[in-house]
Amino acid sequence: MANPRAERVKDVARLGTRSGRNKAGQFLAEGPQAVREATRLHAERTAQGGDGVVRWIFATPEAAERYPDLVAGSSGTEVRLAEPAVIAAMADTVTPQGIIAVCQQTTVALEEIIAAGPRLVAVLCRVQDPGNAGTILRAADAAGADAVVTTSGSVDLFNPKAVRSTVGSIFHLPLAAGVEFAELVEALRAAGIGILAADGYGDADLDELQDGAAAHRLGDGAGEDPLLARPSAWLFGNEAAGLDASELGAADERVAVPLYGVAESLNVGTAATVCLYASARAQRPKASGHD
Amino acid sequence: MANPRAERVKDVARLGTRSGRNKAGQFLAEGPQAVREATRLHAERTAQGGDGVVRWIFATPEAAERYPDLVAGSSGTEVRLAEPAVIAAMADTVTPQGIIAVCQQTTVALEEIIAAGPRLVAVLCRVQDPGNAGTILRAADAAGADAVVTTSGSVDLFNPKAVRSTVGSIFHLPLAAGVEFAELVEALRAAGIGILAADGYGDADLDELQDGAAAHRLGDGAGEDPLLARPSAWLFGNEAAGLDASELGAADERVAVPLYGVAESLNVGTAATVCLYASARAQRPKASGHD
């Protein structure tokens, strides 16, 4: 492909907009790392007889040479060679490193996530910044969360900047997008999953909850599981306004990440990381020797 | 001020470049929150007979009306009214919200930081992205760190994007910039401050260190302080390359943040947050009732 003005190229470029993505049900994975994670998931799904994820890979001849594993087609993906100007016209980034993939959106229904019996879920409540959303998704993956949910009014997780910020994690865990908050609460309650609100003004201190969980882990483990060790969904709020009254009202506990210095608040991505890791630590199996 | 092409306006705009900042020893704080933190520090310092921080505040008539506390001059700062086009020409952001401050760079010598007997220091080793640097600085502030140090080859903390990412925290704690790594190591060792390297391949697991610290806190507190509870400097590395061999070699311990999911790595800002909060938790005074 040599013509950056071709209809096909414009179709791909439209995935840079929310309406373009919604219409096509697709999104862009840019650069070798994202494409690699996409093909990995594609191979895994098709091996299980499921639908693939990667629709097309477009690569410059130079990128095709540099990343032979990505264009081998061994994962059953189709690769098209394209001139650098074509890749540039398709991509959202200035430097897409010569390779991009058009992927099917990988969202699932909320019911599917709940049915799998998740122990740790990250919920983005009207988070607006794609970089923050991507950072939370990546942190959720790192902390071993089972799923990520966005409520209606949240940024699109398939926004190119959000996808980049996940550094491949968007292909790692189930996502439910644009869920109505009331529905989510009902589903979580019915499944016995606790709801924790990350709230700078919360009356529970995350460090005290962690101390409780640590005492339980290091002790004889008798009695009720500490709050952080139970199956939980964390609610993370809008950057400017935080969680609203109905979101806070739905939570079993409003938990504040303590601020030890002069900072008045934490970035939502940073707060989410600390909260999700606190749950991961409290939930992980006891080290051998303690059982 | 009405002429966006005036020499004075260009002088301020040059603070958007590293060479301009170096030459002037100044930087830009954009928007009401940053300006508020700047004036707060300015008032605090001048009240103690020290040098101020804020050189000038420029505000549109509209912003001056909206933020009367910032233009009252009660902190001894000088405020100039300027047309929106002038503010726009001075600022790095597209929407500086009508108010910016020209500030003196607030760096101190490494010796000053060490002499104050810090318990927790964040070191940016050749971190390149201003957003990451600002996020780490903000997390260091939130975790109650005593200082932030950048080694030579790091991004300039006074880069406008870095300043924005700190959301005011750049005015909250002492900074030493562009320190030679060998000098830093010597100073830390001489002061008895431990060196911890945040390293995805490290052989110490942060969660195990936290369990050790928690057991100590919750127990009788006898015996040697656990590693995380001792005065420490955390080294955070370059986004692409991580810490180099000499940086890793200087560390008392190479500590990995555990990855529970499929993610192959953490963003350096995310990893730094988890590490600094782990130290903060281990170092904070025992809750009453445990003493």
Interval B167-205: pLDDT, tens:
899 999 999 999 999 999 999 999 999 999 999 999 999
Region B110-283: CATH code:
3.40.1280.10
Nearest to B263 among A138, A263, A264 (CB): A138
Residue B256: list chain A partners with CB under 8 A: none
**Residue of chain A with shortest Cα separation from B131:** A131
Grade residue A215 by pLDDT with cuts at 50, 70 and 90: confident
Determine the average pLDDT of the residues in A137-147: 96
Nearest to A211 among B142, B214, B259 (CB): B214
pLDDT beyond 80 at A290: no
Chain A residues with at least one Cβ partner in B under 8 Å = 131, 135, 138-145, 167-169, 172-173, 207-208, 210-211, 214-215, 217-218, 257-267, 269-270, 273-274, 277, 280-281, 284, 287
Angstrom CA distances, A274 to A210, B144, B147, stand at 11, 15, 21
Q: Buried b vs exposed e over A186-225: b needs ≥16 C-beta within 10 Å? A: ebbeeeebbbbbbbbebebebbebbbbbbebbbeeeeeee
Quote the pLDDT of residue B71: 80
CB contact under 8 Å between A139 and B259, yes or no, is no
Residues spanned by CATH 3.30.1330.30 within chain A? Answer: 7-104
Q: Which range is least confidently modeled, A280-289, B64-73, B199-208? A: A280-289
Rg (CA), chain A: 21
Per residue in A253-273, pLDDT (tens digit) is: 999 999 998 888 888 998 999
CB contact under 8 Å between A173 and B274, yes or no, is no
The 10 Å Cβ neighbour count of residue A74 is 10
Grade residue A74 by pLDDT with cuts at 50, 70 and 90: low
Q: Which of A37, A277, A281, A283 to mutate to test the interface with B (most CBs of B within 10 A)?
A: A277
Determine the average pLDDT of the residues in A171-176: 96
Rg (CA), chain B: 21
Please state the ipTM of this predicted complex: 0.84
- Between B285 and B17, residue with greater pLDDT: B17
Pairing of strands A194-198, A253-256: parallel
**Residue of chain B with shortest Cα separation from A169:** B263
Q: Cα separation of B32 and B97, whole Å?
A: 7
**Residue of chain A with shortest Cα separation from B143:** A260
Per residue in B106-138, pLDDT (tens digit) is: 899 999 999 999 999 999 999 999 999 999 999
Q: Does residue A106 contact residue A53 with C-beta atoms inside 8 Å? A: yes
Residue A81: partners with Cβ closer than 8 Å, 6 or more residues away = A1, A58, A59, A60, A61, A64
pLDDT beyond 60 at A252: yes
Residues spanned by CATH 3.40.1280.10 within chain B? Answer: 110-283
Pairing of strands A204-205, B26-30: unpaired
Q: Does residue A273 contact residue B274 with C-beta atoms inside 8 Å? A: yes
Q: What number of CA atoms fall less than 13 Å from residue A49's CA on the CB side?
A: 0
The 10 Å Cβ neighbour count of residue B142 is 28
DSSP string, chain B: ---TTSHHHHHHHGGGSHHHHHHHTEEEEESHHHHHHHHHHHHHHHHTT---SEEEEEE-HHHHHH-HHHHS-TTS--EEE--HHHHHHH-SSS--TTEEEEEE--B--HHHHHHT--SEEEEESS---HHHHHHHHHHHHHTT-SEEEEETTSPPTTSHHHHHHHTTGGGTS-EEEEE-HHHHHHHHHHTT-EEEEE-TT-SEEHHHHHHHHHHHHHTT--SSPPGGGS-EEEEE-BTTTBS-HHHHHH-SEEEEPP--SS-S---HHHHHHHHHHHHHHHHSPPPTT--
Q: Cα separation of A167 and A160, whole Å?
A: 11
Which residue matches tokens 């001894």? B76
A118: enclosing H helix or E strand: none
Determine the average pLDDT of the residues in A142-158: 96
Q: Which of B169, B260, B286 to mutate to test the interface with A (most CBs of A within 10 A)?
A: B260
Q: Does residue B103 contact residue B160 with C-beta atoms inside 8 Å? A: no
Q: Can you say whether the dihedral through the CA atoms of B45, B49, B50, B51 is positive or negative? A: positive
Q: What is the overall mean pLDDT for chain A?
A: 91
Per residue in A77-131, pLDDT (tens digit) is: 888 999 999 999 999 877 778 999 999 998 999 999 999 999 999 999 999 999 9
**Which tokens in the block code for residue B79?**
């405020």
Grade residue A76 by pLDDT with cuts at 50, 70 and 90: confident
Q: What is the overall mean pLDDT for chain B?
A: 91
Residue B273: list chain A partners with CB under 8 A: 270, 273-274
**Residue of chain B with shortest Cα separation from A272:** B270
Residue B265: list chain A partners with CB under 8 A: 167
Assign domain B7-104 one CATH number from 1.10.10.10, 3.30.70.260, 3.40.640.10, 3.30.1330.30.
3.30.1330.30
Angstrom CA distances, A224 to A192, A206, A229, B214, stand at 15, 18, 10, 20
Per residue in B237-256, pLDDT (tens digit) is: 999 899 999 999 999 999 99
CB contact under 8 Å between A261 and B141, yes or no, is yes
